[in-house]
Structure 1
């Protein structure tokens, strides 16, 4: 092998070297390597047999990320076979084409897909572009390939038989003709080229043949040297670095080290590697081994594939392997697959035992029970020694009672409209918490505005305090009337002894909370926002707890639920008006993205995705897009009750002929113009932050106690007041006022749902992420199918 000798004074990086040429610099041998597409510090260290630290030492600054075309000085290892430029390294582009972003809806992911390049390449050759705005001009790299016809470029991978065709659309071509030409379906073309729904002459399409579309975009687990196991994650729109570190329990530093692209941003559509712990034992512990099959995860397997292989739903796989609610499958781990009840309980040699003989739901629930072992930190182990006779816990409750206005109404013999007038903010609070705005039946009381709802919340608080006092805890409740004026509460928390408060519940409205929330953070007092669903305070105050999940979170959970449960459906977007820029429109894009990223956007073994213009075409074409063989899952991106009423009525007319599932929101039951029967016929399904099980014994006891104390039925405000107070007072008593880190280990019964608080930002507050999947059935039942939130845990000492 010939070597090039360089004197110490020469500038290595000013020279032109052949790829992987060996040079001698200051008496040491180095390989001069030009960075190609897809290479990382980690991959180069393995390729050239050197440590990452050695690479960084000889090439200062590469710890912040590599750039395509950069020349590196890599220490030469004697005897190592120097790699040649491989087929997956494209080298320098043959040239660039200019592209002007046409719409604000375009993302780095969609543009990269359109031109058949990676997101990393798009960013690398447009280093000054950080935000993809309309009319921004981009450089799109292209590489010359072997031409197989006048119009097509073709690359063949012999080991898989897969072909990737770059096709430029010519006049007269249609999706149908292209599908026929290349032997694939129209939906597979759309899966690889979402913009092809509006085919234009000159458009460039990427067409893959010789493999099913379901294999194109699946997250692939990869095993690397050093005992680490990785899965691949496609960054979705709206995801953040902090969210990913929380979801996968990995540090930001480690993510950036493995994925250099993250050093300059967090681009949607980029595929990043996530390290996961190596595991050979089941990730959940079954109570009964015979209830489950144990499946060893192979490379490339996904929840979608396992669901089809074992004929079991994705939610059931997640239910019995709770960690999968937070991350994807990892190669080499063992997961539990529930066996069919008839396979478990029916004996082949006997016809006497049938599933109907089993004491149904409760026995099955116990039989299929799983537990997640958890090691509780020492700081979160409860210690109740002496707590019942010692400390008094001071709780401040801020609610808008409007004392003076209510006193005036009840002192003067006034006759007012029986439907109290609500401010828009109060109405939104009620809608977001799925609380019905109903009056008490006593005729001798009148309530100002919406204050009756807060009186009922207060009554729930009183019963929670009473429950704790009955078991020996000392709780002092200080109640303050906030009205709706932030200035009115300053006199309360500026009092000399207010700093002795241990817990603050309220105020209700975020704009009234600002000053007292700042005071609470300064004095390390937990403050609970019990009803509002939107607050900027959650982003920056680590002592702030938001009980009602944000609308954005509910939207994302809805998209996740649909992708998990309906990945093999005929999915229809029923457009009743322009939904661009609305929260309902955001869900449409999230659904499209999730189906595409999962590789299930297919007409055969996947999901059909159709946008039907109901606004202009009416109901006449609905039968044309309905399926007799697949579940027809319909989403109407509108919040207008009139539009929804008309569209749902037309869908209902088809419910006897087709199987239809309507995806909605927790506001649907409050639309009085839509008949309840239609929700059942269409099997309405939605994500809700709250659900009250009136068959539960503890709920029944609460209702009786409430009626005995207050002479009326509790409403959802009453349940909320009880749940919030009992939960946070229990946390305070159990762990002290710095209880946030211990909440994952706190288990209390909530009548309206399972609380599971997650920190929104690194230094911010906490939001409840425990939500329920609510489903209406055709036999007129409303069921909570599952709870998305805190998994069932078992303490190590209980084994």
Structure 2
């Protein structure tokens, strides 16, 4: 099983690299250089594009500086088109000139390409090829740069370490300082990301940088030597109580057995693979890719917890999303020895595992948004994803806290049972929060109980303040019509200066058909059970480790699998098999999912009720709470 999954991981990485190759892609000529034009899709990353097009990350960022701040669906990126040359006698490049007095010498450093060097010195890449007679670079190569084109580059912007093993209170033994010549537009933040140090460290190494950064200025960059990091078990949690008083020693074990139940659907994957054409696109089988992403995150968590001292045996099962297969798995004697079960994912197979977990006193964690019915009278079930009703309660709390004096209008829809139910949840919680506090809150909640007919909201609008519109719909047709009609109302009814803030639910993030102008103009806020900050140091570090292990970028399910498994394995480490009621004592710095487990009823299981409030600002989705 594990060998098959490893092969699929390699294959999926290869498929995703091959898929969307630039064959037939639109090209554009810019300043004499030819580029592919890539339209960003959801999930695209600069690293992924580097793999797809065979162009270095530096080259992509040089051609698209705005990409440093992240990619948004619909953006157009210019990807430098690499010329492939045949090594024939008829295609020899011009030999470098013998007289080098008119040239400066640039020593090639790690990660540099002809394209990035050409950009650095404002010279065409083709000219560099002709001058130097090479089109493939190696570290340490000496490249000739015409003096006539590099007035702003009297020497390399970055030089070799000026001081090695310095005596400096800022640095440890083995560290070094690199000198960097500041280029136009560079900021402390950009330099900190380039050299993987903090802005404060750069400031301290340069006497406070009182005058700020200036073009052409030479500054000191303190570089840290990477050292093995010891991870004490104590740092994984810091509970403010005596564990000995809480933990039954009988529940603690030397080695724990963890079962992973995922619908890899390996047979179906093989069938789809056989359908791939000899030449051309071979689209990945999404159910398998999703299961593999979950597994990769789980495996990363297991690796981390083993480093922290936890002994784990991992048992992996392909459920195929089939109840019969799951029953067969549960009939195996080895399953009774499990201490934790992760998955399955489908609503049809989860009740079988929940019942088995209760009967055999094995903790079962659902990593997806399951029905809360699973938790009823079953203390051996933990649900890692907050339900939509729980998210509506969080929206009500946020609106009450942040828009106390504004007009709040709730859109109910009797024709859609889920929207009507979610609206009732919001109404009940909001009224609980605002009841009796007329001095603080502007008015009682206004409720529009019909479909998308925005004229009904006119009497409730605040023409000089903010109007908060709660739209708890998961129907893309309803949401799209609502935002389109709201845009018409704003433009046609003399309301261009009226401010609207629209609140929706987590599913809206999947609605790619919605106009991003509406999303941005109406300051759309969403509840979410998950959020990944790709700019954070911890996320960047995880992605680097993931790439090293799997040669691919982690998907959202990889982050989810990692966080959920880390929390539960840490529970086993500290509290043994009786950890479920103590999960909130485990305080880890998660990447994707935060945790706040609450008992849903006496003798029942635990739901993670941690909810993020996200908002679109300048076309980016940011965390508000």
TM-score, scaled to structure 1: 0.44
Q: Equivalent residue for 2:261?
A: 398
- Alpha-carbon spacing, 1:761–1:657, altered in 2? closer, same or farther (3 Å): same
* Residue 586 (str. 1) matches residue 421 (str. 2): yes
Q: Structure 1 residues 703, 626: CA separation in 2 closer, same or farther (over 3 Å shift)?
A: same
Which of 485, 508, 521 is 1:668 aligned to?
Answer: 508
Aligned residue in 2 for 1:768: 608
Closer, same or farther in 2 for the Cα pair 1:738/1:472, shift >3 Å?
Answer: closer
| 1:44-63 alignment, distance < 5 Å | none
Partners of 1:533 and 1:546 within 8 A in 2: yes
2:614–2:622: 8 Å Cα contact kept in structure 1?
A: yes
Q: Which residue of 1 aligns with 2:355?
A: 518
CA positional deviation for 1:670: 1.4
Q: Per the alignment, do residues 751 and 383 of structure 1 end up closer, same or farther by CA in structure 2, a change over 3 Å counting? A: farther
1:651 Cα offset (Å): 2.6
Matches within 5 A, 1:460-499: 460-499=297-336
Report the Cα distance in structure 1 between the residues aligned to 2:527 and 2:568, rounded to whole angstroms: 24
Q: Distance in 1 between matches of 2:317 and 2:334?
A: 15
Alpha-carbon distance, 1:730 to partner: 1.1
CA-CA distance at 1:595 after TM superposition:
5.1
Distance in 2, Cα, partners of 1:460 & 1:647 = 38
Name the structure 2 match of 1:548.
385
Distance 1:485 1:615, change over 3 A: closer
Tell me which residue corresponds to 2:126.
none
The aligned residue for residue 708 of structure 1 is 548
Taking the aligned partners of 1:547 and 1:692, their CA distance within structure 2 comes to 16
**Equivalent residue in structure 1 for 2:621, among 782, 789, 795:** 782
1:634 and 2:469 are equivalent in the alignment: yes
Deviation at 1:752, TM superposition (A): 1.1
Deviation per CA, 1:577-608: give whole Å up to 9, x if none.
Answer: x4366232234334444555534696995225
Report how far residue 782 of structure 1 moved.
2.5
| Greater share of helix | 2
Provide the residue aligned with 1:376 in structure 2: 241
Distance in 2, Cα, partners of 1:497 & 1:785: 46
Match of 1:648 among 480, 483, 486: 483
Partner of 2:576: 736
Q: How far apart are the structure 2 equivalents of 1:647 and 1:668?
A: 13
The alignment partner of 1:667 has SS state of: helix
Contact 2:382 2:580 (8 Å CA) reproduced: no
Q: Residues 511 and 649 (structure 1 numbering): CA distance in 2 closer, same or farther, change over 3 Å?
A: same
1:459, distance to aligned residue in structure 2 (A): 1.1
Could you list the runs of 5+ residues in structure 1 that have no partner in the other structure? 1-372, 417-441, 787-799
Supply the distance in 2 between the matched residues of 1:581 and 1:395 (Cα, whole angstroms).
41
Residue number in structure 2 paired with 1:534: 371
Question: How far apart, CA to CA, are the structure 2 residues paired with 1:596 and 1:512?
Answer: 38
**Which of residues 443, 446, 451 in structure 2 aligns to 1:607?**
443
Residue 718 (structure 1) aligned with residue 555 (structure 2): no
**SS state of the match for residue 450, structure 1?**
helix
Give the alignment partner of residue 518 of structure 2, picking from 675, 678, 687: 678
Secondary structure of the 2:539 match is helix
Count of aligned pairs: 380
Alignment RMSD = 3.2
What is aligned with 1:238?
none
After superposition, the Cα gap between the structure-2 partners of 1:783 and 1:558, relative to the gap in structure 1 and judged at 3 Å, is same
Q: CA deviation at 1:499?
A: 2.2
Q: Is it true that 1:749 corresponds to 2:612 in the alignment?
A: no
The one-character-per-residue Cα deviations of 1:475-496 (angstroms, maximum 9, x if unpaired) are: 2211100012122123333223
Q: CA deviation at 1:573?
A: 3.5
In the alignment, which residue of structure 1 is the partner of 2:345?
508
Distance apart, 1:611 and its partner CA: 4.2
CA distance in structure 2 between the aligned counterparts of 1:589 and 1:513, rounded to whole angstroms:
28
